[in-house]
Structure 1
Amino acid sequence: MADVPSMEALEALLRRLPGIGPRSAQRICYDLLVRKRNLLPQLAAALERAHAAVRFCERCNNLSEAPLCSICRGEQRDHSVLCIVESPADLRAIEATGVFSGDFFVLMGHLSPLDGVGPEALHLDRLSQRLAETGLQEVIFATNPTLEGEATAQFLAELVPAGITISRIAHGVPVGGELEYVDRGTLGRAMHGRRLLDE
């Protein structure tokens, strides 16, 4: 709509979000501007608050409003086991299964040379600090079962100090799938059935 540039700008921003194409962006704009106008100020305020308050946990790289996230502050966690995931959504999916009580590290992505994503984008300095902590006995790679996820796990396994067990979640998760969309039962079985990375 050439005569409504502010709506076009909003649609363009919405299209940059995952899973929202041109038609979905247009429908969301119409819905917000016609039927749910009262949500616009609340949505804008919530986005501003999140932008100002949310940061990365200093220990695991998860999203948090405090220096340490609630998982890293948890006294009942098994700090001898570290699960490495690609995103906060993956962490949340594994936490929802209720079968894992160890620590996490969030990479915020995976290796993808074609997209220009190299090792420097995966917060390796913070991960190296976590891997160097005393008492760590096992590292579980729970990266997505995609080519990029597998390559990322193989690359990061080289960083794990000798003497620490390295495992990979079982492939009950469909190949090419993403953890945040897998049902709890399948993801729980995948965590229980993890295997050693060199098998």
Structure 2
Amino acid sequence: MERRDSRAAAKQGGGQAASSGRARPDRAGKQAAEISGRALGRTIEALMKLPGIGRKSAERHAFAILAMPDEEAAGIAQAILDLKSSSRSCNICHTITEDQICGICSDERRDNSRICVVEEPSNVLVLEKSGVFRGRYHVLLGALSPLDGIGPEDLTIDSLMQRLRAGAVTEVIVATNPTVKGESTALYLSKLIKPLGISVTRIAYGLPVGGDIEYADESTVQRALEGRREL
């Protein structure tokens, strides 16, 4: 009976489980500030905004920064500020660059007959590491998601179609992520592109369904590109 009463009390007191002893994120942040100072608490909270960084990792990174020489910590802070201030989208493919046109688009040695379409700039980096693809890229800056209010007009699809109508491209490799959004985007692109007489292929399922190209290793990406199929 006492245990049942304690559970009820925990529920009424904001949903904190009496038996777990775990502090909620906001409370944990206050505890960090109280123990080690507000600056450390703010740093931990800031690091937790990065993808894949939980509280434990954020605390570890924060203490690592604290232990660095001042010039190294300042270098990290300055590098982040420089990244934000100097980065922009390539005027052609929309990947990240510091110039109007990225290094890949300005490289005359690349194969102009093939374009690989990806969702995000980070995907370009992964595909380049595989060393298999030597064509051009096009970054959609997202994927179709009607439930989230993201339609064709919110992506760089118009820009892609303009590039294709120029006539140099014979194959479009759709390398959107193997997710529901990525698959629906691939099918939509196929319907748009095929009437132009251009071959549309899809990367193979060496990549896990529901996964993200960004987290695939080079050999997996290589197999996915080499095993691509006609859409």
TM-score, scaled to structure 1: 0.89
Residue by residue over 1:157-177, the C-alpha shift from the partner in whole angstroms, topping out at 9 and shown as x without a partner, is 233252111110111222122
What is the aligned partner in structure 1 of residue 223 from structure 2?
189
What is the aligned partner in structure 2 of residue 173 from structure 1?
207
What is the aligned partner in structure 2 of residue 36 from structure 1?
68
Letter of the 1:193 partner, please give it.
G
What is the aligned partner in structure 2 of residue 51 from structure 1?
84
Deviation at 1:153, TM superposition (A): 1.0
Deviation at 1:116, TM superposition (A): 4.1
Deviation at 1:135, TM superposition (A): 1.4
- Measured in 1, the distance between the counterparts of 2:225 and 2:77 equals 38
Residue by residue over 1:125-160, the C-alpha shift from the partner in whole angstroms, topping out at 9 and shown as x without a partner, is 322322222211111100111111111111222332
Deviation at 1:37, TM superposition (A): 4.7
- Measured in 1, the distance between the counterparts of 2:44 and 2:82 equals 22
SS in 2 for 1:84: strand
2:142 to 105, 109, 115: 109
**Contact 2:33/2:40 (CA < 8 Å) preserved in 1?**
no
Aligned length: 196
Structure with larger Rg: 2
Once the two structures are overlaid, the 10-residue window that deviates more, 56-65 or 2-11, is 2-11
- Measured in 2, the distance between the counterparts of 1:73 and 1:117 equals 30
SS in 1 for 2:204: coil
- Measured in 2, the distance between the counterparts of 1:11 and 1:121 equals 34
TM-score, scaled to structure 2: 0.78
User: Does the alignment pair 1:159 with 2:184?
Assistant: no
Deviation at 1:106, TM superposition (A): 1.1
SS in 1 for 2:113: strand
Letter of the 2:121 partner, please give it.
P
**Cα RMSD after superposing both structures:** 1.8
Instruction: Return closer, same or farther for 1:192/1:20 CA change in 2, 3 Å cut-off.
Output: same
- Measured in 1, the distance between the counterparts of 2:48 and 2:97 equals 26
- Measured in 2, the distance between the counterparts of 1:75 and 1:2 equals 54
Deviation at 1:102, TM superposition (A): 0.9
Instruction: Return closer, same or farther for 1:134/1:147 CA change in 2, 3 Å cut-off.
Output: same
Deviation at 1:109, TM superposition (A): 2.0
- Measured in 1, the distance between the counterparts of 2:39 and 2:160 equals 42
SS in 2 for 1:71: coil
SS in 1 for 2:185: helix
Between Structure 1 and Structure 2, the one with more helix by share is: 2
2:100 to 56, 67, 71: 67
- Measured in 2, the distance between the counterparts of 1:184 and 1:2 equals 41
What is the aligned partner in structure 2 of residue 123 from structure 1?
156
- Measured in 1, the distance between the counterparts of 2:56 and 2:130 equals 34
- Measured in 2, the distance between the counterparts of 1:37 and 1:143 equals 42
- Measured in 1, the distance between the counterparts of 2:102 and 2:202 equals 24
Specify every segment of 5 or more residues in structure 2 that has no aligned partner in the other structure, as ranges.
1-31
Percent sequence identity is 44
